[in-house]
């Protein structure tokens, strides 16, 4: 990646000024660089690695995408299939996903629910290569973002708390639930699950909550009413991207009885 004639020390000094609060537009004007160049520098020299996962089959488009993403200064992992995810891919956390449209359409025909299950919690951009010109088209749904790979990376991926690919399949099951701040919370939030698996669930909620914080859950449909300890792994805010507001939860501690009851609920639902 070219640095427009700037030495690395100069680039790092410009990025340090940005960290201290100098506006990006002002820095670009002072140093005679474009905002695109500034963001490329930030991705390469800014100290924070942005890791993305690319789903694309073998072929010409695959190499085109890899070359374009490499120019954006991100760390890239690639998989040709939604079903053959390697242990290495599942062991990492990702800031965002890129989906080649032909690869996605093929996967949707095979198992639509599984595909959406894998990608639902990540910033997501669809890619398509023009076979005649080789041009890469980038589609994403946040109006604040532009239409390029770099716009998507900087506007949606950079500040996203990285997550792992979910390995347990969640089913669309609505259970009545009490969400508590602590095991003895006298005023829990009454809610319902949007989906659930033996390892976690997504719960409708419009309250302000933070990723990484802890909650305790009581399921009305479960005989064992002991609170289940859980950690918030994802938050969807009210009014965000036309998505159902709520919290994605990972179960931390369940009794043997609760494990069995959850397994029965999940298995009994097609």
Q: What is the pLDDT of residue 145?
A: 46
* Overall average pLDDT of the 206-229 stretch: 89
Q: What is the pLDDT of residue 143?
A: 47
What domains, with CATH codes, occur in the chain? 48-164 (3.40.50), 176-267 (2.40.10.220)
**Alpha-carbon distance 26 to 12, whole Å?**
16
- The neighbour count for residue 112, using CB atoms within 10 Å, is 10
Summary mean pLDDT of the chain: 82
pLDDT grade for 55, boundaries at 50, 70 and 90: very high
**Alpha-carbon distance 146 to 115, whole Å?**
25
> pLDDT tens for residues 156-204?
888 787 887 765 666 788 999 999 999 999 999 999 998 888 788 899 9
* Overall average pLDDT of the 6-14 stretch: 83
Please say whether the beta carbons of 80 and 61 come within 8 A: no
70 CB-side CA count, 13 A: 9
Q: What is the pLDDT of residue 84?
A: 64
Predicted TM-score (pTM) of the model is: 0.55
């Amino acid at each position: 990646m070219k640095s427009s004639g700037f030495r690395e020390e100069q680039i790092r000094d410009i990025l340090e000024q940005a960290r201290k609060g100098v506006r990006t537009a002002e820095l670009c004007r002072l140093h005679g660089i474009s905002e695109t160049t500034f963001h490329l520098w930030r991705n390469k020299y800014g100290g924070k690695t942005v890791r993305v996962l690319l789903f694309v089959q073998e072929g010409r488009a695959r190499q085109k995408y890899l070359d374009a993403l490499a120019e954006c200064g991100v760390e890239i992992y690639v998989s040709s299939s939604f079903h053959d995810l390697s242990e290495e891919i599942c062991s990492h956390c990702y800031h965002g996903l890129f989906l080649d449209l032909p690869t996605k359409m093929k996967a949707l025909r095979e198992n639509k629910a599984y595909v959406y299950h894998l990608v639902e919690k990540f910033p997501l951009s669809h890619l398509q290569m023009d076979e005649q010109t080789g041009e890469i088209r980038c589609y994403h749904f946040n109006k604040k973002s532009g239409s390029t790979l770099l716009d998507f990376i900087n506007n949606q991926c950079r500040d996203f708390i990285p997550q792992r690919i979910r390995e347990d399949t969640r089913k669309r099951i609505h259970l009545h639930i009490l969400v508590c701040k602590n095991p003895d919370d006298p005023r829990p939030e009454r809610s319902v699950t949007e989906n659930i698996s033996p390892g976690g669930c997504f719960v409708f909620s419009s309250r302000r909550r933070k990723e990484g914080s802890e909650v305790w859950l009581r399921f009305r449909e479960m005989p064992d009413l002991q609170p289940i300890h859980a950690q918030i792994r994802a938050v969807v805010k009210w009014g965000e991207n036309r998505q159902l507001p709520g919290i994605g939860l990972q179960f931390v501690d369940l009794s043997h009885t609760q494990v069995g009851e959850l397994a029965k609920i999940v298995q009994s639902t097609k």
